[in-house]
A and B are shown apart, each in its own frame.
Chain A
Amino acid sequence: MENAFGQPQSVVVLGGTSDIARAVVRKLCAARAEVVVLAGRDPGRLAEAAREAEEYGATRTEVVLVDAADPASAGPAVAAAFDAIGGPVDLVIVAVGALGDQSDFEDDPAEAARMITVNMTWPVAALTAVRTRLLAQGHGRVLVITSVAAVRVRRSMYLYAGAKAGLDRLCQGMSDSLVGTGVRLQLVRPGFVRTKMTGGQKEAPFTTGPNEVAEYVVRGLSTNAPVIWSPPVLRYLFVVVRHLPAALWRRVADL
């Protein structure tokens, strides 16, 4: 069960090898998390993340193998993860995503479709299954990691950002649909984060590391803010960004 600070005891992570998810899990395990189930594609990296969770205090970890390129795998993966917890699930973190360098694949229809699948279709399928299970349980919390890139889509990464935008908006509606049910969905919108996913990319203003994101996320668990910005100042910056004229946005977006 969650405590007074929103700290969970049982956690499911979809996208368990994500650097941001791992940083959050480390903090949660150092607090009250006891059982952690990590779902992802790479068995080696999942095992490493599970070992890390135990080092930080988890008493039991389990791993579920799943490939986010196949939306049909989402439902069974969520079922397997909840079964592996073996009791109430306090928190589900959705951290699945892929970025890459868009110029490498923007002329490839199959790759474009894959970007949308991994960043939006699979997470939505998974969230649908998570929502049903948490509603049946009568309590629980979902954190969906999108991006500030979803607030205003940049030309250099419109496939990633567009998919995240779809996920982000959809989750706003899903979050509203959960009011009064005891289940809560919160969005996490980090700015540029130094991770393996963004490796080699040019850093943007207000760049942080995964641990800072995790700090804001843990704070967000206690405040119940519907959107957790990381760093928080981006919330105000993006009020401006969202309203910039297109011509100006094109000039500043990829500075």
Chain B
Amino acid sequence: MTRLAGWGRTPAATASVVAPASEDEVVELLARGPLCARGLGRSYGDAAQLAGGTVADLTGLDEIGPIDESGGVTLGAGASIDALLAVSLPQGWFVPVTPGTRQVTLGGAVAADVHGKNHHRDGSFAAHVDGLRLATPRGVFDLSAAVDPDLFWATVGGMGLTGVLTRVRLRLLRVESDVVLVDTDRYDDLDAVMAAMVEGDERYRYSVAWVDCTARGARTGRAVLTRGDHAPAGATPPRAPRAGRLGVPVVAPPGLLNRLSVRAFNEAWFRRAPRHALEEPHSLGAFFHPLDGVADWNRLYGPRGFVQYQFVVPDAAGDTVRHVVERLARSGLVSFLAVLKRFGPGDPGPLSFPMAGWTLALDLPVGADSLPAELDALDELVLRAGGRVYLAKDARLAPAKVAAMYPRLEEWRAVRARVDPEGVLVSDLARRLHLVGR
């Protein structure tokens, strides 16, 4: 038995972990009984665990095929973006969409339909997927947006509950260098940064703002906006890439990240950013995956772990973002740098998270007595604005709110029932939110 948890380290689950080495072994496992698929465990909550059950660790399906001249590549679903980049970057190919860490599997990226800093232009991960191979209790299927689109889109963002992905065919992005040219702007309040994003995001491939949720008064929601694109060939890299990674050796004591230390960090980080800088070269790693430089940074939150709260609200509901940031600043809850981003239109996945509008992600350490109820109150604000929270981050949503946030849930359930009528595919997330039959 193995103790598992998501990246937020709570809730934990003890499960029997098996590591299939081939698609055939995955099919055998599916015939044996309830199963939960897991990649590198970067979902924050309980999406990739099954307390008391069997969890399939898919990182063994890690083959990476050759990259053809148009950037197409077929990968095992357990291969990581990190491993893919190690092969593809020297050949001038970058992943078309990357989340904030490269330590995710391709299968996980599809199952959560992850997004990156370029969602406003390039959509989420699924937009760059040419094909999927999905092992289900009713057989193995090759899917794409053209072949069995219902099952394809139910699988995209389907949190691993329509089957176990075994292969992903992806279209990569041609880049001429491993440098990103970044414009940085500092804004003293939230309205200013949001106005700048509305006005200027279209001119950039990548755009994201980091918001200080501990600043109050006139500086509520002050932010640093970074936007950029890949540099052309010959761009000077900022400096030699770091050889080693920092590490957090043991679980930090509870309370290390407290109101004072987080405020001090946010202050220092805000001051450090230039008020306005143009076309500064950043390495790909520093721009896309800054936290990958600190191994196990999630341990900084101490033994109780943390929750990440990420929501999206439609464009017209920008006010809701402001209400949330103001509420948090007033509540005194410790929230590390929050990430604000504008999404472009969503895709047809019934459980896919992104929709045109604003998304805000917050890291909140577990411990404050008021946190559970405060997050429930934020859910209400988000729902009233017609928004939703991100299932890949969730560890605490009330089940009754899921159908309101994902109005096509029944449609998704019907597709799932076609390939898994007995309810073999399950996870603690699915059980907690009653996504699948009880």
Contacts and interface: CB of A to CB of B under 8 A. Distances in A.
Nearest to B432: A1
B51 A6 contact: no
A25 B144 CA distance: 48
B396 interface: yes
A222 B367 CA distance: 7
B428 interface: yes
A165 B3 CA distance: 32
A4 B1 CA distance: 21
Contact of A1 (B1, B51, B307): B51
A215 B431 CA distance: 26
A6 B432 contact: no
B14 A181 contact: yes
A73 B261 CA distance: 54
B369 A138 contact: no
Given A9-B432, A219-B369, A222-B367, A182 B396 contact: no
Interface of A: 1-7, 9, 31-32, 34, 87-88, 137-139, 180-182, 215, 218-219, 222-224
Interface in B1-30: 1, 3, 8, 10-11, 13-15
Nearest to B429: A1
Q: Give the dominant DSSP class at A's interface.
A: loop
Contacts of B396: 3-5, 7
Given A5-B372, A87-B438, A139-B13, A222 B51 contact: no
Nearest to A7: B372
A222 B366 contact: yes
B357 interface: no
A223 B372 contact: no
Given A3-B432, A5-B366, A138-B53, 15 more contacts: A4-B10, A4-B307, A5-B10, A5-B396, A6-B11, A31-B372, A138-B14, A138-B51, A138-B52, A139-B13, A139-B51, A180-B14, A181-B1, A219-B369, A223-B367
11 contacts: A1-B428, A1-B432, A2-B11, A4-B10, A4-B396, A9-B432, A138-B15, A181-B1, A182-B3, A182-B51, A219-B369
Interface of B: 1, 3, 8, 10-11, 13-15, 45-46, 51-53, 304-305, 307, 366-367, 369, 371-372, 395-396, 398-399, 428, 431-432, 438
A139 B428 CA distance: 11
A182 B395 contact: no
A239 B377 CA distance: 40
B304 A180 contact: no
Contact of A180 (B1, B11, B307): B1
B301 to A, nearest CB: 11
B398 A139 contact: no
